[in-house]
Structure 1
Amino acid sequence: MVSDDGRPLTLADIARLAGVSRSAASRALDATAPVGGAKADRVRAVAAEYGYVPNSWAANLRRQRTGLIGVVVPRLTDTVMATLYEAIVEDASSRGYQAAVVTTGDDPRKELDRGRALVKQRVDGFILTTARTDGADPFLLELKEKSIPHALALRTDGGSPAAVIDDRAGGEMATRHLLERGHRRIAFIGGPAHASSSQGREAGFRAAMEEWGVSIGPGTIHHSDFSVDAGLEITDRLLALAEVPTAVFTANDSLALGVMSAAQRAGVSVPDQLSVVGFNDTPLAARLAVPLTSVKVDFARIAADALDLLLSPAATDRPAVQPHLVERASVASI
């Protein structure tokens, strides 16, 4: 990528070779807001021919941007969060941005401290998957007070721009699937009570049970922390009941994995004695010894919607992404 006199090609050289102004060449090669038209196509063709790569660092300095997006997640040991973060990295990169992640353990104090550290790095904005509906979210409140660009993903606080799944619809389809196969003693294991995703999935569970005229008895609904260990611990309690559930719907696949592990440990067959449905359809779901029926979520779409909300000033709230059920071997009819 050098000129005839041996020096590196500059943006001015590309503009001259394409027969356009320097500003027009700059706009054509701006990955964050690419323009269309014959001139822009010609600029990109010349840049590709000569192997020219725009100096995004210099461009960001001119715009007073760093090209860095902060991503805040509860934990990366959660396959859902890791999958979403990878999707954000890929989509952000295609727009000329990089993503830096911090984990919080769903602890508001850690979120505040670690989020502020990213603010000091002058990130251009935040995507948060840690939103709470209980008001105990000081970092999100600080972002609002200081007008720092941000968008939420997977969870919502009910006020900020958010890219979410139709959790209620997913909860209904999972529960209805079990009801259609004859199950009536169905337990629900949710995530934290402050997470809108868990709330929506529980609402869907309740709606489907009511639709079918099935009462929700004591000990039917449980809240947890979305972890495998929580699924194990709660299932141990369920299996000790006088009337053991014939099926369990969990708010994510990690909880479902805990349910299946506890069942195996207790000598309870899945699905012959206990049917299980998860949520998110993470890659592991199809690879278990008993492949897991799960509600599939399009994480690439969630990531793209969140970035649109964060980076496009004119962007409006996106409709909730519609999930669908992936049927596998973890559910039996009774």
Structure 2
Amino acid sequence: MNESRPITLQDVARAAGVSKTTVSDALSGRGRLPAATRERVAAIARELGYVANRSARNLRGGRTGAIGLYFPARTIGLEYYMDLAIGAAEEALAHDLALTLIPAPADPGRTPPPHIDGVMVSDPVLGDPMLGTLTDLRVPVVTCERDLTPGARHAGRVESDHRAGTRTLLDHLSGRGDHIALLCPGEETSFGLDIRTAYRAWCADNGREALVYDVPFVCDPEDVNHAVAEALRAPGGVGAIVSVPDGGATSAVHAALQQGRHVPADLLVASYVDSPSLRGLATPITAVDIAPREMGRRAARLLAGILAGHVAPGTVEILPTELMIRASTSH
């Protein structure tokens, strides 16, 4: 065989004693071939050094070889979303797909790039016009968390078990006996809705007053300062504060100190979203690890499987959470 030219499907087919169609189906996962045939063809292709021409393959299948990832407005730069994007990019690459980030457009009338085979939407926000725009692209949509839009139906979903994560965190904080305040975004995302619902249910089950203070999905220190000051004035006393938004817990610790409360000596503080920055503080902050990188990987894997026909549309995966106990909640 001429070593100066690339190995072709025909070369693999000739060496395996099968047709080009069989080789193509075996290497792409299509068709109804016996497992032994797939494995034998794949082994011969590896031995010959066959490398698929992605551009040609995508052209034959009417595909671009790219998938999109859309974030809600103002979230670019938050640690959670950067980790999610990295996980999605890693998994996309493993499936020979390119990842295109789709930021929220400054101009609501501007449409996202049409040259994608599918799109992932992280934390769909109720009323976000981009959800309709992305759906109108007529490509599979996989969401990270539920889309609360009435009647919304997408190709797949990966969602965290926020209800279990919330209850586990509250059980850990309950030892002090005082009320636990929750600084939480509104119910325009399933993230905020599920945490609020679980918190209220836990308070009802444990005879505690529900103290919920609204903070934006993407908050700044001033938002947290106001919420903490209000929480610490609550009748009956507050012994712990849970700050839900990414980055809010550090501001909560500073705001508590301004109110004369020290963490953890006379106030416990926890974050619902973990990050490396919380682990590196002088008083590391307890947090729920909701595994953003794994969320990105699973969403990209699910979308790739739907595009390849290996995964049934409508598939839902549940991502477990893990409580990371640190010094900020030491009783």
Corresponding letter in the other structure for 2:270:
V
State the match for 1:142 in structure 2. Answer: 133
- Summarize deviations over 1:213-261 as a string: whole Å, max 9, x none: 11235xx422323335356433553477376632111224411122123
Range moving further from structure 2, 59-68 or 12-21: 12-21
Q: Which of these residues, 125, 131, 136, is aligned with residue 132 of structure 1?
A: 125
Q: Which of these residues, 319, 322, 326, is aligned with residue 320 of structure 2?
A: 322
Tell me if 1:306 matches 2:299. Answer: yes
- Report if aligned partners of 1:228, 1:257 keep a CA contact under 8 Å in 2: no
> Could you tell me how far apart the structure 1 residues matched to 2:34 and 2:250 are?
48
Tell me if 1:152 matches 2:143. Answer: yes
TM-score normalised according to structure 2 size: 0.84
Corresponding letter in the other structure for 1:329:
A
**Counterparts of residues 178-257 of structure 1 (less than 5 Å):** 178-179=173-174, 181-216=175-210, 220-229=212-221, 232-235=224-227, 237-238=229-230, 241=233, 245-257=238-250
> Could you tell me how far apart the structure 1 residues matched to 2:30 and 2:326 are?
40
- Report if aligned partners of 1:231, 1:254 keep a CA contact under 8 Å in 2: no
Pairwise CA distance, 1:13:
1.8
> Could you tell me how far apart the structure 2 residues matched to 1:51 and 1:5 are?
10
Stretches of structure 2 that go unaligned for 5 or more consecutive residues are: none
Range moving further from structure 2, 31-40 or 300-309: 31-40
Pairwise CA distance, 1:49:
3.3
> Could you tell me how far apart the structure 1 residues matched to 2:282 and 2:33 are?
49
Which of 1 and 2 has higher RCO (CA within 8 Å, sep 6+)?
2
> Could you tell me how far apart the structure 2 residues matched to 1:112 and 1:43 are?
49
The two structures, once aligned, show a CA RMSD in angstroms of 3.0
Pairwise CA distance, 1:209:
1.1
> Could you tell me how far apart the structure 2 residues matched to 1:130 and 1:33 are?
35
Range moving further from structure 2, 200-209 or 124-133: 124-133
- Report if aligned partners of 1:281, 1:297 keep a CA contact under 8 Å in 2: yes
Question: Aligned in 2, Cα 1:275/1:31: closer, same or farther, shift over 3 Å?
Answer: farther
> Could you tell me how far apart the structure 1 residues matched to 2:83 and 2:198 are?
24
Tell me if 1:70 matches 2:68. Answer: yes
Tell me if 1:38 matches 2:36. Answer: yes
**Counterparts of residues 46-85 of structure 1 (less than 5 Å):** 46-74=44-72, 75-85=75-85
Q: Which of these residues, 6, 9, 20, is aligned with residue 8 of structure 1?
A: 6
Runs of 4+, deviation exceeding 4 Å: 31-36, 111-114, 264-267
- Summarize deviations over 1:141-189 as a string: whole Å, max 9, x none: 234455332121134225333211122222222222211x124232111
**Counterparts of residues 238-277 of structure 1 (less than 5 Å):** 238=230, 241=233, 245-264=238-257, 268-277=261-270
Pairwise CA distance, 1:301:
4.5
> Could you tell me how far apart the structure 2 residues matched to 1:231 and 1:33 are?
56
> Could you tell me how far apart the structure 2 residues matched to 1:36 and 1:90 are?
30
Pairwise CA distance, 1:54:
1.0
- Summarize deviations over 1:239-286 as a string: whole Å, max 9, x none: 773766321112244111221233456664221122112123233333
Question: Aligned in 2, Cα 1:195/1:5: closer, same or farther, shift over 3 Å?
Answer: closer
> Could you tell me how far apart the structure 2 residues matched to 1:309 and 1:266 are?
47
State the match for 2:24 in structure 1. Answer: 26
Corresponding letter in the other structure for 1:176:
D
- Report if aligned partners of 1:189, 1:231 keep a CA contact under 8 Å in 2: no
State the match for 2:172 in structure 1. Answer: 177
- Report if aligned partners of 1:232, 1:261 keep a CA contact under 8 Å in 2: no
How many aligned residue pairs are there?
A: 319
Pairwise CA distance, 1:193:
3.7
Give the fraction of aligned pairs with identical amino acids, expressed as a percent. Answer: 26
